[in-house]
Amino acid sequence: MGNPYPHELSMGDVYFSPMLLVILLALFMTSITVVILNRVKLSRYFYLPSYIFLAIVILYIVLIDTIWIKI
């Protein structure tokens, strides 16, 4: 009887951590969020945009990890 949750992702003979997929997805979603924030001109109110980018990435990583991939 196996665990229903994924432990690793395999591509051929190479195994990847599911966290790699979560990080890549979070970076993609963050870049979309930043484009939207720039279009509606909300990014001009941020003091350090690079820290905001990092904070949004971490927020997406936590949300994706807790909701989608339950390790």
Q: What is the pLDDT along the chain (71 residues), one digit of tens a residue?
A: 556 665 677 777 787 888 888 899 999 999 999 999 999 999 889 899 899 999 999 999 999 988 876 65
pLDDT number for residue 13? 77
Q: What is the pTM of this model?
A: 0.78
Question: Nearest CA to 29 among 65, 71, 4?
Answer: 65
Direct distance between the N- and C-terminal alpha carbons of the chain, in angstroms, rounded to an integer: 17
The answer to whether residues 69 and 17 touch, using CB atoms and an 8 Å cutoff, is no
- pLDDT attached to residue 21: 86
Return the residue matching tokens 């909300």.
42
Whole-number Å distance between alpha carbons of 62 and 43 = 22
pLDDT at 32: 97
